[in-house]
């Protein structure tokens, strides 16, 4: 049984949920509502920590870690100034949704948001009298990785406004609950993954709900009656929190490079890879103007992305502080990934420093590339993470940049980079390889370098470049084939 029902001795009568209430989420969605809007979740969706089924044949279980408030004193036409006094308890909540069914109810969310177990809360209740409504933190973890960290100070609409607004037309009764909306960081959980949410006082962290824990499991398929599950790339983008499509879908984002592919990429030069890309018409695959902070560093891995826009006071106030997009993407890096930053080639302020580099290194990231500048560059070098930058600068982010969005297509050093593309860097610079071209580009690069080994041997023995570099005459072609028979290209 859920802790609210246990505490009250009866199931709450109404559960309200807010569509959009945090500035960070509004920025992510690209729209800021003038007033709060709501939908209902069925009281039967209440649960505590436990498991939640994703029906077989469905794809998208979305999680939204939120602050949940429970009415302790009934009221109608409650003044906003008095609203918080009507809250009895505060706890953690997770507004789960089955995005496969969102299309079916045209915004009412009846089936997508009210399934059994789709509103877990708890595990503990915080006395609302012990916390301030604008000083409540909320954090969400996916498989132990922090994916969202915000507080009610980041809300567009205070909770008291929601209470006053709702009570204009209906009586709020003891036990009624308000799921107060989700900050940036909401995404999708898959079977086998665990989502945890904690709500706590910013003034006294010992006042906490504890971690609400939900494990996603595979359940039976939905009965074939009524609307069938259905998703498209627009719905996937909304659920995952970043655009999806060709190689930039969820599977590509999570697919690591094999150790064998990493080894092979490490044995070919960026210059050779650029030749092979150019042969295929990819003349803009080089990330111009970026170089390793520390000579000798190599960089290999699938791309995650971050985009900065030029500094503007109001935009930085809305998106520059707190758990912004810069921190969100760094904090969600996975082993072997490369973070690529679009900073418009502006090197008049730092786009990363030693703390971000250290966090990326700790998470096992393969490196960071920015066409902006690095701050604390000596300390960044000491972290030991391969970092390629457009320069060095002592100024902080807010001098020139606003962290705008992450896991979107970006431009870095004049090259377009999609999530999942492969980044390779060495002392010559860095290139981006479209994921679907990786196998053929790598194989041909290996063949090119093997051929150039033959050419180097002949030049070292005194041969002229004429007809040899590149191998073009019948004589040199025959000699190369003879050499190749004795020195075959290693099998990948």
State the binding site for Mg(2+).
376
Residues listed for the chain: 492
Cα 255 from Cα 252, distance rounded (Å): 5
Q: Is 364 left (phi over 0), alpha (psi -120 to 50) or beta?
A: left
Q: What does the angle CA 47 – CA 52 – CA 53 come to, to the nearest 5 degrees? A: 140
Among 221, 214, 190, residue whose Cα is nearest residue 51: 214
Q: Which two tokens stand for residue 362?
A: 């700790």
Among 246, 283, 276, 265, residue whose Cα is nearest residue 338: 265
Q: Whose structure tokens read 């209906």?
A: 170
Specify binding-site residues: 353-356, 375-376
Judge whether 137 and 202 are in contact, CB under 8 Å. Answer: yes
475 phi and psi, to 5 degrees?
Answer: -60, -50
Judge whether 338 and 357 are in contact, CB under 8 Å. Answer: no
The three-class DSSP label of residue 393 is: coil
Specify binding-site residues for substrate: 353-356, 375
b/e per residue 43-59 (b: at least 16 CB within 10 A): bebbbbbeebbbbeebb
The three-class DSSP label of residue 365 is: coil
179 phi and psi, to 5 degrees?
Answer: -85, 110
Judge whether 428 and 271 are in contact, CB under 8 Å. Answer: yes
């Amino acid at each position: 049984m859920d802790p609210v029902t246990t505490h009250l001795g009866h199931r709450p009568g109404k559960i309200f949920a807010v569509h959009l209430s945090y500035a960070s989420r509004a920025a992510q969605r690209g729209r800021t509502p003038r007033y709060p809007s709501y939908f209902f979740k069925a009281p039967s969706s209440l649960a505590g920590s436990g498991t939640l089924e994703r029906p077989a044949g469905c794809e998208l279980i979305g999680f939204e870690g939120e602050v949940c408030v429970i009415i302790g004193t009934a009221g109608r036409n409650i003044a906003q100034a008095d609203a918080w006094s009507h809250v009895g308890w505060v706890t953690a909540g997770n507004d789960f949704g089955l995005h496969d069914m969102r299309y079916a109810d045209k915004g009412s969310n009846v089936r997508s948001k009210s399934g059994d177990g789709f509103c877990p809360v708890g595990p503990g209740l915080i006395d609302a009298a012990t916390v301030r409504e604008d000083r409540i933190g909320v954090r969400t973890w996916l498989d132990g990785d922090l994916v969202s960290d915000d507080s009610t100070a980041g809300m567009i609409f205070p909770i008291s406004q929601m209470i006053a607004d709702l009570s204009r037309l209906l009586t709020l009764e003891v036990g009624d609950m308000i799921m107060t909306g989700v900050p940036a960081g909401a995404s999708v959980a898959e079977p086998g993954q665990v989502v945890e949410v904690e709500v706590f006082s910013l003034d006294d962290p010992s006042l906490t709900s504890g971690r609400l824990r939900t494990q996603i499991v595979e359940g039976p398929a939905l009965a074939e009656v009524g609307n069938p599950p259905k998703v498209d790339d627009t719905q996937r983008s909304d659920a995952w929190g970043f655009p999806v499509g060709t190689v930039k879908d969820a599977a590509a984002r999570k697919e690591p490079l094999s150790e064998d592919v990493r080894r092979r990429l490490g044995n070919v030069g960026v210059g050779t890879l650029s030749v092979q890309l150019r042969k295929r018409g990819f003349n803009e695959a080089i990330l111009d103007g970026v170089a390793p902070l520390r000579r000798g560093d190599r960089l290999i891995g699938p791309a995650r992305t971050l985009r900065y826009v030029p500094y503007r006071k109001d935009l930085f106030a809305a998106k520059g502080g707190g758990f912004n997009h810069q921190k969100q993407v760094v904090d969600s890096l996975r082993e072997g990934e490369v973070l690529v930053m679009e900073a418009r080639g502006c090197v008049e302020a730092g786009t990363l420093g030693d703390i971000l580099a250290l966090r990326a290194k700790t998470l096992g990231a393969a490196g960071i590339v920015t066409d902006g500048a690095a701050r604390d560059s000596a300390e960044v070098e000491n972290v030991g993470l391969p970092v390629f930058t457009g320069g060095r600068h002592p100024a902080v982010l807010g001098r020139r940049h606003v962290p705008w969005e992450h896991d979107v297509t970006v431009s870095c050093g004049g090259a377009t980079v999609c999530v999942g593309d492969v980044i390779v860097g060495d002392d010559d610079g860095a290139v981006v390889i479209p994921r679907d071209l990786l196998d053929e580009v790598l194989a041909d690069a290996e063949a090119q370098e093997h051929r150039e080994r033959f050419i180097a041997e002949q030049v070292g023995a005194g041969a002229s470049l004429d007809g040899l570099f590149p191998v073009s005459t019948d004589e040199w072609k025959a000699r190369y084939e003879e050499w190749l028979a004795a020195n075959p290209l290693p099998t990948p």
